Amino acid sequence: MMKKYDAYKDSGVKWIGEIPNHWEAIKISRVHPIIGSGTTPLSSREDYYSEKGLNWLQTGDLNNGLITETSKKITPKAVDECKMKFYPIHSVVIAMYGATIGKVGLLDIETATNQACCIIVPSKRICPKYTFYSFIIAKEELLLSSFGGGQPNISQDIIRKLKVPVPPLSEQQSIASYLDVKTEKIDKMIAKAEKKIEYLGELKQSLITRAVTRGLNPNAPLKDSGMKWIGEIPEHWKIMPFKYYGKLCKGLTFSKADLTATGVPVMSYGQIHSKENKSVRFFEEGIRFIPRELAKNGDSALVKQGDFIFADTSEDLEGCGNCVYNDTTNPIYAGYHTIIYKTRERDCKYLAYLFRSNVWRSQIRCRVSGIKVYSITQGIMSQVNILLPPMSEQKEISTYLDTKCSKIDHIIATQKKKIAYLQELKQSLITNVVTGKIKVS
């Protein structure tokens, strides 16, 4: 049975609710007088960045935990010329905009930061760990105060005005210590589930690779394929240039702003890169719509049963080769930043699995170019090769992989549900303890 405090009062702050009688709801700026942000040196200046340089924190480094390292380093020259400030250990850092908005970190290192970070410097009036936990539960409230269009922002001023529950210092320390122990246990369970998911993902990739490159008969005679990316293959299998088994086309040209609630169905590169896209069956959840007139004269962009839609750009090497396979009789248009592969056959499930394998994708990855974004062109796609077992064997392989991968996907889904439950449990625990709904001492 969780303990409660003897008496409560209204905090006057909706998201906090009632707090113990002897607590206060105070603006962050009253207990943390020093609140700052950082600077981003010019990315074009190579002399501003070095792998062995000084710590420079970006919002992508924030993980709602302790910050012990930064992914990028800057040189003393950048610090001097850009007048960059270093913030001390135990400072709390909040992401003010971007995909990580509202994420928090507690510094275990001295570091400079980029301008998207708000830094709350330690104060004698409040335990740094307690402030850290307060901001973990304040994320939704900060988002409600955000501004901006497609990408919301929060300002230092919004953070300064945020009210948080503040108990006496001794209680803050007890709360922080209690949450350290409890959340560490939950984090270990989450990490264990994540490791299991990682292992299952590797097992799935291994099963796919083995089946699409060696087949299901372990005693099948092998021959040298003559290609580094694959090595030996069954004697009766063929190797064929990608471009000879199908036709490469370009998707429709339109922008995100052209999307509508109804109309002609399309699939663009953003949906192809979705983590929910399994690549071996039609990704119905990825369908978007455009006005019919934008598809006029776009027959070459129509994707039918057995065809593939590849993304022509990727933010990382892993995504090079991501595609959607249309295994339905429903035609759909390929959208922006896509390459269509119109195949000879209507049943290309084997190819869908082949395209999932890292060994096949290595042909694309070694040819792409780019720094922040990798470009996958029709020219690159036309240079790769595919493996072709007889059609009867292709169907056996795809049926086998459907069964095996389905079982693995089910276990992965179970582990993801477990992680979601544990994350909710952790958030609920922090909320109830930091706002005084549960007494820990």
Biggest distance spanned by C-alpha atoms of the chain: 81
- Among the listed residues 23, 1, 3, 2, the one whose alpha carbon sits nearest the alpha carbon of residue 12: 23
* Predicted pLDDT of residue 386: 95
Q: How confident is the model at residue 158 (pLDDT cuts 50, 70, 90)?
A: very high
Structure tokens at 312: 């022509």
Q: Which helix (H) or strand (E) holds 214?
A: helix 169-214
Residue 314 CB contacts under 8 Å (≥ 6 apart), including other chains: 273, 320, 322, 368, 373, 374, 376
In 189-258, which ranges are E strands?
222-224, 232-234, 238-241, 246-250
Kindly report the pTM of this predicted structure. Answer: 0.84
| Counts of helices then strands in the chain (DSSP H, E) | 12, 26
Q: How confident is the model at residue 348 (pLDDT cuts 50, 70, 90)?
A: very high
Q: Give domain limits for the chain.
A: 24-166, 238-388
Structure tokens at 332: 């759909």
Residue 45 pLDDT > 90: no
Structure tokens at 269: 């590169």
Our measurement of the distance from residue 347's CA atom to the centroid of its chain's CA atoms, rounded to an integer in Å, reads 32
Tell me whether domains 24-166 and 238-388 share a fold. yes
Residue 322 pLDDT > 70: yes
* Predicted pLDDT of residue 264: 93
Name, of 276-285, 356-365, 367-376, the range with top average pLDDT. Answer: 356-365
CATH number, domain 24-166: 3.90.220.20
Strand order in the sheet with 308-311: 246-250, 338-343, 308-311, 323-325
Structure tokens at 378: 């029709």
Comparing 195-199, 259-263, 367-371, the range with the smallest average pLDDT is: 367-371
pLDDT tens readout for residues 246-289: 999 999 999 889 999 999 999 999 999 998 998 998 989 999 99
CATH number, domain 238-388: 3.90.220.20
pLDDT tens readout for residues 132-156: 999 999 999 998 888 876 678 899 9
Structure tokens at 34: 């020093």
Alpha helices of 215-340 — where are they, by DSSP H? 242-245, 269-272
